[in-house]
């Protein structure tokens, strides 16, 4: 947890405050996020990205709705069915896209044959895109706008999983509005936990009508905290003096430094463009044991040697350089082994 955010949590503990979001910090969130996004919003603090996504999506789809997302989307791979559960049965349909991002033309093709209006079919209801994507790439505003245009034509809602929204914004520049409602995003899961908060995400609705049932779903789903002020305090500290963007810039810079350090190394395959703070590599099997022996907890994700490295707001460049040195040694050893040489 970033020291500034931990300090804000402690400061919020100094007195007694009204409960369930009626405290001062929570009541300030509306104005804070309106300022940030340059428009009126409805905003709800929650403690996990899964809750943010599932509760937001539940506001965008009926139980008989279909939610379109990328093959790798957290909502379909890593949330244990929470979106299906909180929506009361909506179906997630995945599309391949490119480097972790959905492509407007693929979405158009899927929606064209979805059976809208046919009582026998699940009804297209929402699209969820992840910014930055699960594979560490970043949607350009024009890509989001193209997806939003398809959504508009087919009367489906557009949600953004912004668990790593800060990293995307730090990469692209511009304003939070430019990456969201100005290009057609209607609801955003605005992440803070992965960028220095203890446990804080904000669900932001750019159309207040879409938020009408959120509070009830949040309470019914067990996600309305009596001590909501501790989430709100984190969000305030996160946004204060652009802490969130400084954090994200640092994490992104560390990822870029890591990639630059990989360039001279043989035997390492960079799988996707590194545009945020995630680096996906393929390494020879022998390299993992050597990395672990050097004290790095690197585990392959699959039998092909896929591994993900994630840099953070507090990544120390010295640690990164030590990792690169260990990696260089591990790769040299692995290549040697493959060539039958001695270590
Ligand atoms: C893209 C994305 N969305 C949502 C989440 C969910 O966050 P949580 O673990 O807080 O539920 C994650 C966490 O890894 C994520 O990477």
Tens-digit pLDDT profile for residues 288-310: 988 999 999 888 999 999 999 99
Report CA(74)–ligand 1 centroid distance (Å). 6
Predicted pLDDT at 331? 87
30 pLDDT exceeds 90? Answer: yes
341 pLDDT exceeds 70? Answer: no
Residue in this structure with the two tokens 């545009």, named with its chain if needed: 275
Which atom in ligand 1 lies closest to the alpha carbon of residue 73? 1
Distance of alpha carbon 306 from alpha carbon 332, whole angstroms? 18
Predicted pLDDT at 286? 87
Q: What is the mean pLDDT of residues 26-55?
A: 98
Sheet-wide strand order for 278-282: 269-270, 278-282, 306-310
Q: What is the pairing mode between strands 65-70 and 91-95?
A: parallel
pLDDT, tens digit, 9 for 90 and up, residues 99-132: 999 999 999 999 999 999 999 999 999 999 999 9
Written as six digits, the tokens of 121 are 């079919």
CA 144 to chain centre: 15
68 pLDDT exceeds 50? Answer: yes
CA 25 to chain centre: 24
Which atom in ligand 1 lies closest to the alpha carbon of residue 161? 3
Which atom in ligand 1 lies closest to the alpha carbon of residue 130? 1
Report CA(252)–ligand 1 centroid distance (Å). 18
Indicate the pTM of the whole model.
Answer: 0.96
């Amino acid at each position: 947890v970033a020291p500034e955010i931990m300090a804000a949590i402690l400061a919020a503990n100094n007195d007694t405050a009204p409960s369930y979001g009626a405290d001062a910090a929570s009541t300030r969130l509306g104005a804070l996020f309106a300022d940030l996004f340059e428009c009126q919003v409805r905003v709800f603090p929650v403690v996990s990205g899964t809750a943010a996504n599932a509760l937001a999506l539940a506001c965008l789809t009926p139980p008989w709705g279909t939610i379109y997302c990328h093959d790798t989307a957290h909502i379909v791979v890593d949330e244990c069915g929470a979106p299906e559960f909180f929506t009361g049965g909506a179906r997630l349909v995945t599309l391949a896209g490119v480097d972790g991002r959905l492509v407007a033309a693929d979405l158009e093709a899927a929606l064209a044959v979805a059976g809208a209006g046919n009582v026998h079919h699940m009804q297209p209801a929402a699209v969820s895109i992840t910014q930055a994507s699960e594979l560490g790439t970043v949607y350009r505003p024009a890509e989001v706008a193209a997806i939003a245009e398809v959504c508009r034509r087919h009367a489906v809602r557009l949600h953004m999983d912004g668990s790593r929204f800060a990293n995307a914004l730090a990469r692209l520049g511009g304003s939070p509005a430019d990456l969201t409602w100005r290009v057609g995003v209607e609801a955003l899961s605005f992440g803070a936990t992965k960028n220095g908060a203890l446990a804080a995400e904000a669900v932001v609705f750019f159309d207040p009508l879409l938020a009408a049932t959120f509070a009830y779903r949040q309470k019914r789903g067990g996600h309305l905290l009596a001590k909501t002020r501790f989430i709100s305090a984190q969000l305030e500290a996160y946004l204060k003096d652009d802490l969130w963007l400084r954090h994200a810039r640092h994490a992104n810079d560390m990822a870029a430094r890591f990639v630059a350090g990989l360039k001279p190394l043989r035997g390492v395959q960079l799988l996707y463009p590194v545009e945020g703070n995630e680096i996906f590599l393929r390494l020879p099997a022998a390299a993992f044991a050597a990395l672990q022996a050097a004290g790095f907890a690197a585990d392959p994700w699959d039998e092909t040697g896929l591994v993900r490295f994630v840099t953070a707001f507090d990544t120390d460049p010295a640690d990164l350089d030590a990792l690169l040195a260990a990696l260089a040694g591990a790769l040299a050893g692995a290549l040697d082994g493959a060539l039958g040489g001695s270590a």
